[in-house]
A = this chain, B = another copy of it.
Amino acid sequence: MSNRISKVTILDIARELNITAATVSRALNDHPGIRESTKKAVRETATRLNYKHNKIASSLRLGKSNIVGVIIPSAEINFFGSVVHGIEKVAAENNYTVLIYQSNELYEYEKKGVQTFLQSRVDGVLASISKETINLDHYSEIRNRGIPLVLFDRTDDKLGVSSVVVDDYAGAFQATSHLIEEGCRRVAHIAGQQHVNIFNLRLKGYIEALNVHNIPLNEDLIVYGKVSIDSGRECMKQLLARPVIPDAVFAVEDFTALGAIQAIKAAGLRIPEDIAIIGFANEAFGEYLTPSLSTVNQQTVTMGEEAARLLFEGLRSGEPFHAHPRKLVLKPQVICRGSSVKYPKGDGR
């Protein structure tokens, strides 16, 4: 009620106590070598006057904002939501605030996000590259300005920055192997855009699993989609129209799998009896489907935590951040659920 619009500064506190602003600042920052009694008095006066630290002034003076910017394609994809959680956790531990920017998978938005971050003088950036993005100059700019940048999930080695990814190749290999071990022989793959690194790796993992299990690769069983529910549905329809109908599908991620499931059901086929299916990413909805969706877990929270840790370690060390880029590879795990398990008791071998 007293100070409707707070304009209380450290100077007000100083005057109140007949000391200088410098002392107040030091007291507030718990500087060693300020008498305890002074600190106490300052703190009390601060609360009494309703003082609030001005981060903007502090940032300007310090040349650092204590903000990290995070660029994600979409907060509505559960995967990124979880990663952000991991990031926020570590950021909070380091006394940092997190600014989130959604690119909506659009190159232009992504560029705009980078500019916003640069203007806001964020101390570091964590980013996952949008599907649409091919030109990486905006990320180079961050790098070149010496601002710590760590990529996660959708990364690009060309940038020469640290990154955290899940082993998509291994995940795809395991997922496909799982289907084969359930007894499937005509395993199809609904793939994603091949310029996106992780989607390409998933295709490769799929192919390798076929190899290892001595199943000849059949190009007819691979379709390339755009990674969405609609695209998954369309791709599945194409597969069902081909001479050889698959008995299993490894979808590039869960939304694609969902679309495929709809198409399979619409065709009057049973899951997993006629066609088994597995997705990738462990989106929340998968658990609630009937049958529940098998998928690959990507350690999302860990990914966020590790990415943030990489960032803060570099931030603390203070030194040329991008000198020695590190690459962390997390191990994925197959989650077997109803959509892929044909023989709940035994196994297919």
Contacts and interface: CB of A to CB of B under 8 A. Distances in A.
Contacts of A185: none
Interface stretch (A114-122, A169-177, A211-219, A326-334): A114-122
A348 interface: no
Interface stretch (A12-20, A190-198, A272-280, A285-293): A285-293
B120 A55 contact: yes
A55 B285 CA distance: 40
Copy tally for this chain in the complex stands at 2
A78 interface: yes
A26 interface: no
Interface in A13-57: 52-57
Contacts of A56: 56, 59-60, 65, 120-121
Interface stretch (A3-11, A125-133, A158-166, A306-314): A3-11
A54 B122 CA distance: 11
A134 interface: no
Interface of A: 1, 3-6, 52-57, 59-60, 65, 75-76, 78, 81-82, 84, 88, 97, 99-100, 102, 116, 118-121, 144-146, 258, 284-285, 288-290
A81 B76 contact: yes
A257 to B, nearest CB: 11
A288 B258 contact: yes
A89 to B, nearest CB: 11
Given A54-B121, A289-B290, A4 B81 contact: no
Nearest to A143: B4
8 contacts: A4-B145, A53-B119, A56-B59, A75-B81, A76-B78, A88-B102, A285-B288, A289-B290
B146 A55 contact: no
A259 to B, nearest CB: 10
6 nearest A-B pairs in the assembled complex, by CB-CB distance:
A290-B290, A285-B285, A5-B146, A55-B119, A6-B145, A56-B60
Nearest to A62: B56
Nearest to A287: B285
A55 B289 CA distance: 47
Given A97-B116, A116-B97, A55 B290 contact: no
A191 to B, nearest CB: 22
A118 B6 CA distance: 10
A81 B81 CA distance: 10
Nearest to A74: B81
Contacts of A5: 145-146
B97 A99 contact: yes
Nearest to A64: B56
Contacts of A288: 258, 285, 288-289
